[in-house]
């Protein structure tokens, strides 16, 4: 479920907002955030103080499978 965040600082960009909310995984939500907040991109790179921004929910994390790497010096 998405949530609404009121910007309460100066110098906050969309990617910084998402990083503060979700950490590194928030980088994947920049485009989606701009889609669900019409006119947000027109404000420029810095979101004005007091502006409400709807932040989408993080998608489910997929499982990562590791593939063994073989080098000249053996498997790692």
Is 27 a domain residue? yes
Is 34 a domain residue? yes
Is 71 a domain residue? no
Is 66 a domain residue? no
Is 65 a domain residue? no
* pTM > 0.85: yes or no: no
Number of domains in the chain: 1
Task: Provide the domain limits for residue 22.
Answer: 3-60
CA distance 35 to 64: 28
Is 69 a domain residue? no
Tens digit of each residue's pLDDT (9 = 90 or more) over 26-71: 988 999 999 999 999 999 999 999 999 999 998 887 777 788 877 8
Q: What is the dihedral of CA 68, 25, 16, 9, to 10 degrees?
A: -140
């Amino acid at each position: 479920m998405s949530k609404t965040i009121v910007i309460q600082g100066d110098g906050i960009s969309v990617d910084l907002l998402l990083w503060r909310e979700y950490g590194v995984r928030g980088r994947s939500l920049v485009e989606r955030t701009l889609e669900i907040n019409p006119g947000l991109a027109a404000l420029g790179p810095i979101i004005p103080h007091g502006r409400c921004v709807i932040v989408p929910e993080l998608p489910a994390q997929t499982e990562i499978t590791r593939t063994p790497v073989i080098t000249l010096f053996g498997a790692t």
